[in-house]
């Protein structure tokens, strides 16, 4: 293992906490699945936003979630991150960690990070400062917030800047970045916290074609070492990144497969792509 690999290994939250947490909190992906969702239902005033939904995501996968407005995509992310409590169902992180028994803060600390649609970078701080702040305020780093940034943290910031393609912009004010660059910066801020699973909501909305292409490359590169779940409407984008696409409809999984399989699925064509049969 190289020093960098060793460092990466140490930065993984499940490893960082290994000596602190109870045995059942180590994320067990021995069966390859990192997220188990079964029979999940959520209702708002009797309306079923999620209806007996089943979803299994493998460790290291890049999964796209698509579906018309109101299909339940955001609600699903809200349940995974502990923001919304379901009426029934199971949500497990690896084999053993029951996410429904955890608070939103605990779930974040276990390594499930989320990027909302609208970028929320600190506009009056530099690109570097934004990443540094995200690194130092990530839950496992709280005590370091007011201390000197260590060499290891500097390396980590550099690595993140390189990954998101903003190394040349490190001293620039975040507010001066293009919309696309702000989205990358926010992905970088999420990355700095070392998540095991990244939930990304509509990353390419409002991006130029070139920015969209680079985002596809970025998210593809991020998967593998971590699991990335992307909600997106842009079909060309989904086609360019997705290995497996899950189509949600009325709170359930309507179809799952490669983009081609999903697009050829009669039920999908009827309800989502709006094509006549």
Ligand X SMILES: Nc1ncnc2c1ncn2[C@@H]1O[C@H](COP(=O)(O)OP(=O)(O)O)[C@@H](O)[C@H]1O
Among 71, 157, 198, 218, binds ligand X (CB under 6 A): 71
Rounded least distance, CB 210 to Mg ion, Å: 26
Answer yes or no: are the C-beta atoms of 43 and 87 closer than 8 Å.
yes
- Residue identified by tokens 């796209």 is 64
Question: Other CB atoms closer than 10 Å to residue 216's CB: what's the count?
Answer: 23
According to the binding rule CB under 5 A, does residue 81 interact with Mg ion? no
Rounded least distance, CB 80 to Mg ion, Å: 13
Kindly indicate which of the ranges 19-27, 62-70, 100-108, 185-193 contains the residues binding ligand X, using the contact rule CB under 6 A: 62-70
The edge-to-edge listing of strands for the beta sheet with 244-249 is 112-115, 197-201, 227-231, 62-66, 244-249, 252-257
From the list ligand X, Mg ion, none, partner contacted by residue 70 (C-beta under 5 to 8 A by kind): ligand X
According to the binding rule CB under 6 A, does residue 194 interact with ligand X? no
From the list Mg ion, ligand X, none, partner contacted by residue 277 (C-beta under 5 to 8 A by kind): none
What is d(CA 179, CA 212) in angstroms, rounded to the nearest whole number? 11
According to the binding rule CB under 6 A, does residue 265 interact with ligand X? no
Would you call 274 exposed, middle or buried from its count of C-beta atoms within 10 A (0-12, 13-18, 19+)?
Answer: exposed
Among 13, 73, 196, 226, binds ligand X (CB under 6 A): 73
Indicate the residue among 31 and 118 with the shorter CB distance to Mg ion.
118
Strands 244-249, 62-66: pairing is parallel
Helix or strand (DSSP H, E) at 113: strand 112-115
According to the binding rule CB under 5 A, does residue 181 interact with Mg ion? no
From the list Mg ion, ligand X, none, partner contacted by residue 44 (C-beta under 5 to 8 A by kind): ligand X
Answer yes or no: are the C-beta atoms of 148 and 161 closer than 8 Å.
no
Strands 197-201, 88-93: pairing is unpaired
Kindly indicate which of the ranges 13-21, 69-77, 98-106, 185-193 contains the residues binding ligand X, using the contact rule CB under 6 A: 69-77
Rounded least distance, CB 73 to ligand X, Å: 3
Indicate the residue among 73 and 136 with the shorter CB distance to ligand X.
73
Q: Distance of alpha carbon 97 from its chain centroid, rounded?
A: 18
Summarize as ranges the residues that interact with ligand X (CB under 6 A).
Answer: 44, 49, 67, 69-75
Summarize as ranges the residues that interact with Mg ion (CB under 5 A).
Answer: 73-74
């Amino acid at each position: 293992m190289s020093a960098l690999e060793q460092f990466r290994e140490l930065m993984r939250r499940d490893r960082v906490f290994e000596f602190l947490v109870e045995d059942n909190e180590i994320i067990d992906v021995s069966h390859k699945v990192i997220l188990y969702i079964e029979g999940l239902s959520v209702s708002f005033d009797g309306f079923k936003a999620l209806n007996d939904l089943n979803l299994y995501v493998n460790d290291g996968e890049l999964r796209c979630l698509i579906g018309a407005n109101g299909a339940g995509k955001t609600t699903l992310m809200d349940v995974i991150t502990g923001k919304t409590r379901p009426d029934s169902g199971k949500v497990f992180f690896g084999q053993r960690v029951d996410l429904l028994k955890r608070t939103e803060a605990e779930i974040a600390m276990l390594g499930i990070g989320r990027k909302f649609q609208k970028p929320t970078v600190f506009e009056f701080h530099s690109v570097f400062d934004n990443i540094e702040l995200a690194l130092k305020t990530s839950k496992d780093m709280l005590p370091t917030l007011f201390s000197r940034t260590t060499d290891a943290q500097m390396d980590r910031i550099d690595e993140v800047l390189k990954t998101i393609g903003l190394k040349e912009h490190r001293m620039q004010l975040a507010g001066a970045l293009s919309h696309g660059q702000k989205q990358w910066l926010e992905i970088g801020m999420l990355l700095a916290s070392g998540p095991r699973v990244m939930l990304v909501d509509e990353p390419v909305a409002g991006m130029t074609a070139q920015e969209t292409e680079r985002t596809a490359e970025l998210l593809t590169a991020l998967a593998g070492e971590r699991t990335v779940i992307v909600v997106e409407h842009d079909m060309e984008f989904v086609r360019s990144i997705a290995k497996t696409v899950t189509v949600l409809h009325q709170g359930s999984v309507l179809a799952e497969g490669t983009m081609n399989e999903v697009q050829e699925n009669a039920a999908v064509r009827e309800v989502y792509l709006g094509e006549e049969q």
